[in-house]
Chains A and B, each alone.
Chain A
């Protein structure tokens, strides 16, 4: 059974870059779309972006200028970098797999998630 686990610093200073890694176990990363989603405490979810194993990416237009998602198929990991962070970027960050059903990719539907990691932006 596939499992996803987020890792990275829980505290980032304002104006710096937030970096997180998602490790995928139980399945090859070289098949699906892989996503990052976040949820500020007490608020709703926000899709950040996805990467396909080929390296093709797609980002939320509202975050596109600050987001980079990369993938390392040899390690079965993908990563998120969010630059120039502010307190508004404080959130639980989740990695998630895009659904594939009967050969169809649903890039906006997530069938497997990590437990999430809280990243706080503060000096």
Chain B
């Protein structure tokens, strides 16, 4: 069982927005601004989309945004495109030299 809770699936039509949640506790998500999000197309290398809750690495479209409220972090994908269909994972520093991941959310573009 993963330490962070993500919905197993999410979906939206092209052009729409979708938000994926990542719920932890005050010992991880709520306690640190060290939340990251990864996009994973099966069989390919995962890709960093968001780090430090809301920062975007260079090359990541601004359609991807991150936020956090309390013990829940969120990834919002705006203007959905077919290529956004993938698995998305969140992670958070959890203190005491530990890092925890979410179980992943499969995003489907309808």
Contact = CB atoms under 8 A, between A and B. Distances in A.
Interface of A: 4, 43-47, 58, 60-61, 94, 96, 99, 101, 106, 108-116
A108 B103 contact: no
B69 interface: no
B36 A46 contact: no
Interface of B: 2, 34, 36, 38, 43-48, 51-52, 55, 57, 89, 91, 93, 96-99, 101-104
Contacts of A43: 2, 103
Contacts of A47: 91, 98-99, 101
Contacts of B97: 58, 60-61
B106 to A, nearest CB: 12
Contact of A99 (B45, B51, B96): B51
Nearest to B36: A109
A109 B45 contact: no
24 contacts: A44-B101, A45-B89, A46-B101, A47-B98, A60-B99, A61-B96, A94-B45, A96-B46, A101-B55, A101-B57, A106-B34, A108-B36, A108-B91, A108-B93, A108-B99, A109-B34, A109-B48, A109-B52, A109-B91, A111-B48, A113-B46, A113-B47, A114-B45, A115-B45
Contacts, number: 64
Nearest to A62: B98
Nearest to A97: B48
Given A108-B36, A109-B34, A115-B43, A61 B51 contact: no
Nearest to B96: A61
A44 B46 CA distance: 13
Given A44-B89, A45-B89, A110 B48 contact: yes
